[in-house]
């Protein structure tokens, strides 16, 4: 597949949404008129409120700050992933897509009103400190995060390498609260983190994020492992927070037969809904596969896991995934700011919407918890006590026939 759907959809989709706003989403004329009248009534009320604040607030009001604040509230009222981005935040988002920034290396979301860790980025200060998926960040540098927007939390955790930030972490399991001092670093994300033979038959590949070149990089390491005699593959997507939807589809189709459904995208605009199918052009040999997942496997990772599971192509092993089934569009505004909003949901080949539920593994294997702030890194291939990896190897050896 050549075009790139992101977890933020492309400009063509945004133009379609703009057209909907103008045309009233093809509603009958009478219904559209009622809808437009109601909208204009509410906008008039909003205008009244702005006028009152400009005229009567105790101090002079910055109109831009007032409107931006209103847009921030408007977006955050929709769901935990929609948000207003100031110009600097939008520029930062653009920089993030290049895979390099200064910070502590945590993907975050809001769950049940609480700032929650989706996943620590592989090799980051957050991972080294023992922060885990599902941990709650209740304070940043002693400032409570209750009611804090994701953009503000990210801004507080970003900074120059070498500078420090203290996170107060609450881990529900064990009801433990800990202050964790982190030194910011330059976070560089390399998509295919590890590829090696674990023994004479089983290959191991860890993907930490789905970037533009991930499928190409995967082809290279698969070819090397196959040349080394790989007869089965363990694909590690633990703590992989996602990335590009198109790339996830491209990765999944490496393991699926031609015509297999990879994922379906469904929006309010029927013309912009799409079913992704494997082209069959890149399908690898049909060896056994185990995909490792955990609570930090989200978004694009869940696309791959769902495609493997629903097509009965391999086994999913670990614990339930994060459950992010939404796609965000990012639309720049005239003043350099932008809005990011949920524009579609994606469904697994079995037509499952995994929103909040995540993907339940075929083989459930819990991992050992590590203490927060212990400095112990969660690197699967280096950890002799990695129970999930051990179980995956056992499954692989049972799948490989004596003839190979």
pLDDT at position 215: 94
pLDDT at position 49: 93
* Residue 18: alpha-carbon gap to chain centroid: 25
In 3D space, the residue among 45, 27, 157 whose CA is nearest the CA of residue 92 turns out to be 157
Choose, from 135, 201, 310, 386, the residue flagged as catalytic.
310
pLDDT at position 366: 92
pLDDT at position 174: 79
pLDDT at position 60: 93
403: left (phi over 0), alpha (psi -120 to 50) or beta: alpha
pLDDT at position 304: 98
Reading the block at residue 189, the tokens are 């994300």
In which residue ranges of the chain is pLDDT below 70? 1-34, 95-99, 368-384, 401-404
Choose, from 119, 195, 264, 299, the residue flagged as catalytic.
299
Q: Is 64 in the active site?
A: no
Model confidence over 292-341: pLDDT tens digits?
999 999 999 999 999 999 999 999 999 999 999 998 889 999 999 999 99
In 3D space, the residue among 192, 216, 219 whose CA is nearest the CA of residue 205 turns out to be 192
User: 99-188: what fold?
Assistant: Pdz3 Domain (2.30.42)
Q: Are 265 and 327 in contact (CB under 8 A)?
A: yes
pLDDT at position 11: 31
Q: Are 327 and 82 in contact (CB under 8 A)?
A: no
Q: Is 176 in the active site?
A: no
Could you state, in order of their start, the residue ranges of all structural domains in the chain?
Answer: 99-188, 192-325+344-399
pLDDT at position 136: 96
pLDDT at position 2: 32
Question: How far is Cα 291 from Cα 160, in angstroms, rounded to an integer?
Answer: 36
pLDDT at position 6: 46
Q: Are 367 and 388 in contact (CB under 8 A)?
A: yes
User: 192-325+344-399: what fold?
Assistant: 2-enoyl-CoA Hydratase; Chain A, domain 1 (3.90.226)
Q: Is 310 in the active site?
A: yes
């Amino acid at each position: 597949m050549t075009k790139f759907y992101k977890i933020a959809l492309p400009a063509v989709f945004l133009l379609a949404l703009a057209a909907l706003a103008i045309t009233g989403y093809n509603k009958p004329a009478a219904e559209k008129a009622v809808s437009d009248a109601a909208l204009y009534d509410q906008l008039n009320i909003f205008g009244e409120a702005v006028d009152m604040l400009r005229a009567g607030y105790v101090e002079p009001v910055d109109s831009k700050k007032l409107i931006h604040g209103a847009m921030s509230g408007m977006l955050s009222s929709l769901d935990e992933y929609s948000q207003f981005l100031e110009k600097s935040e939008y520029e930062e988002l653009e920089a993030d897509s290049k895979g390099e920034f200064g910070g502590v290396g945590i993907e975050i979301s809001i769950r049940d009103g609480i700032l929650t860790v989706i996943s620590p980025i592989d090799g980051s200060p957050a991972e080294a400190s023992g922060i885990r998926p599902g941990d709650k960040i209740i304070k940043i540098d002693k400032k409570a995060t209750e009611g804090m927007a994701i953009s503000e939390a990210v801004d507080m955790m970003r900074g120059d390498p070498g500078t420090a930030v203290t996170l107060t972490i609450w881990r529900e399991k064990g009801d433990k609260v800990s202050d964790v001092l982190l030194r910011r670093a330059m976070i560089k994300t390399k998509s295919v983190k590890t590829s090696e033979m674990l023994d004479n038959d089983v290959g191991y590949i860890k993907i930490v994020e789905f970037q533009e070149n991930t499928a190409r990089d995967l082809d290279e390491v698969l070819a090397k492992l196959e040349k080394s005699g790989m007869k089965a593959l363990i694909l590690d997507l633990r703590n992989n927070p996602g990335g590009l939807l198109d790339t996830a589809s491209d990765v999944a189709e490496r393991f699926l037969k031609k015509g297999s459904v990879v994922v379906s995208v469904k929006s309010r605009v029927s013309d912009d809904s799409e079913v992704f199918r494997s082209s069959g052009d890149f399908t690898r040999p049909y060896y056994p596969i185990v995909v490792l997942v955990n609570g930090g496997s989200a978004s694009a990772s869940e696309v791959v896991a769902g495609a493997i599971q629903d097509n009965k192509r391999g086994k999913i092993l670990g614990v339930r995934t994060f459950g992010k089934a939404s796609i965000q569009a990012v639309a720049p505004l005239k003043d350099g700011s932008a809005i990011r909003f949920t524009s579609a949901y994606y469904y697994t080949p079995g037509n499952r919407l995994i929103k909040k539920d995540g993907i339940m593994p075929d083989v459930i294997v819990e991992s050992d918890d590590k203490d927060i702030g212990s400095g112990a890194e969660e690197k699967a291939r280096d950890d002799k006590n990695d129970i999930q990896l051990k179980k995956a190897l056992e499954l692989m050896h049972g799948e490989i026939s004596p003839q190979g």
